[in-house]
Amino acid sequence: MPRIIAARRTAVVPKGGKFALLEPHELASPVIHACLADAGIAAREVGELILSNALGGGGNPARIAALAAGLPEHVAGLSIDRQCAGGLDAILLGHAMVQAGHHEVVIAGGAESYSRRPLRSRTFADGRPPEPYSQARFTPWPDRDPDMAEAAAELSRKIGITRAEQDAWAQRSHALALSHAACRVREITPVGDVSEDAFTRNLTSRHCERARVVSGDITAANMAVAADAAAFVVIVSDQMAKRLNARGLTLIEGATLGAAPDQPGLAPISAIKHVLKRADVDHKILARAEVMEAFAAQALACIRGAHLPDEIVNPAGGALAQGHPVGASGAILVVRLFHALRTGDAPALAAIAAAGGIGSAALFEAVE
């Protein structure tokens, strides 16, 4: 079985912060270097780089990142865009490539710069001026293609998640992130002088009460802030893992499934249930679950819908305490699991929702 033998990320920095002048490849390059150093693998041994990026200007950012990181020219670079799920899906795709025997070594993950994303406009053939837009279309039906915050607000109304519950979950995320700050040292590769997540703070009830309302019960306090970051893992064949005598993670089962496009927050539930059933793993025995917190309402809906015990979910805090670098967020979940799991632990879960009604989930276990 292929094995993840190294996993690193940058700090997560809110849009307009210390990463504001860096392009995605400039965030990716130091993480790729750190991953290879941790793995004890030379750049010449890399067969492919898979990079998730959701907000860039197109082209092939994976190729740019591969060249910027000094990978050999034969590493073509594969860019994917599955929005929030892309970072996790890049890892699932990299695993499949190695398992199929296409490559011995694949680097996979994501890099996102909210700060540097280009402005986009639609053009018209009738001479009207271009019309700027901030959110791409994710369905062919405008009435089933909601703004993400509006979808989260509707979700909270639909299943009865109160603002108080959402605010409490956000406070929990920050409190756990603060109390587990030392754990992040192993995850984070410094970029310049930035080596800590910039957004984590002592979030109080008073802060939550005064937070700007975005839509319904969704506020600036109970949704993840737009952010810049990169995260990658190194996936190797079983033979190479044995040669390197490397510990790491193995993928037990992974899946990406579609669901109702107008309720993207619920999409991970079916993906979680699917991987648990395929792997014959009971949710009650999971060691840990890293669930994306784009919105507290969305996270709580997934946790309840998949019957995950609260105490195993994001025990070191989640995206509400860090930020949401869209294309990198799914990979950050796996980086967290890589550094948290130990041999002998029960399997652990990573799960994330994406625009358009998409959910990705993966089960991992630690191995020597």
Residues noted as catalytic: 84, 324
Residues 141 and 169: their CA atoms lie apart, in Å, by 33
In sign, the C-alpha dihedral spanning 321, 323, 324, 329 is negative
For tokens 């020219």, the residue is 73
**Strand 78-80 to 48-52 pairing:** parallel
Closest CA to 32 of 2, 86, 77: 77
Residue in 181, 230, 275, 219 with CA at minimum distance from that of residue 31: 230
209 alpha carbon, distance to own chain's centre: 28
Distance CA 274, CA 230 (A): 28
The CA-to-CA distance between both ends of the chain, in Å, stands at 13
Cα-flanking dihedrals φ and ψ of residue 256, to 5°? Answer: -125, 125
Q: Are 255 and 278 in contact (CB under 8 A)?
A: yes
Kindly list the distances between the CA atom of residue 289 and the CA atoms of 110, 124, 292, 309, 317, in Å, as whole numbers in the listed order. Answer: 20, 46, 10, 9, 11
CB 337 within 8 A of CB 310: no
DSSP string over 31-95: HHHHHHHHHT--GGG--EEEEE-SSS-SS-HHHHHHHHTT--TT---EEE--GGGHHHHHHHHHH
